[in-house]
Structure 1
Amino acid sequence: MLERRVTVAIAEGLHARPAAMFAKLAGEQSAKVTIGKVGGEQVATDSILGVMTLGAGFGDVVLLQADDEGAAEALAVLAEYLATED
C-alpha cells in the first residue's frame, strides 16, 4: 500500500467547495484512494460527505492511501491539490 502525508494548504480546509472539487478530482483517478487525519479513520476520497466529515482544516496533516494500479499517480494528483493554496 502506498501512503502519502500532506499538509492541507487550502485556506478554508476541506469544507464545501474544496471538498467537492477534491472528491471530483479523486473520482477521475484510476485508483481508489482513501483519506484521513493521521491516526484517524480513513474515508473514500470520492465521497464529498466523507471528505467533509473529516473536518480537515488549514494546516492539518492528512494521510492519503491507495494500493490499486495507478496509485502513485493518483496520490500525486490529490496531494498536489491539497498542498496548493486556494
Structure 2
Amino acid sequence: MSTRAVLRFVSWTSHPDRREDAPPVMHQMVCRTIGCPDRESEPDPDFEVVRDWSMKHSGRHPAHREFLETIVRPWRNDPPEGVVPA
C-alpha cells in the first residue's frame, strides 16, 4: 500500500472583504495625551462620528490636539477561481 499526494501551488489573493455579510469597517480615535481620562472614542462605522468626537475632545481639553485613528477592516484570502482548497 502506498500513499500519494498531489501538490499544486496557486497564487491566492488577499483583499478587503466587501461581501454584503462582511463586518463593517470600524473607526476609532485615541487621544495621544498621556494620562487623559477619556482618551478613546467609541468605535463607529462612520468616520465623521469619531472625527467629531476628537473635535469635541479638543474643545473640552484645548491642549489635547494629537490623535491616532484606529481602523479595523475585514480582510479575506481567496484561491483562484475554480480552485477548491482541500
TM-score interval (norm. to shorter): under 0.3
Structure with bigger helix share is 1
Q: Which has the larger radius of gyration?
A: 2
Instruction: Give the TM-score of the pair, scaled to structure 1.
Output: 0.27
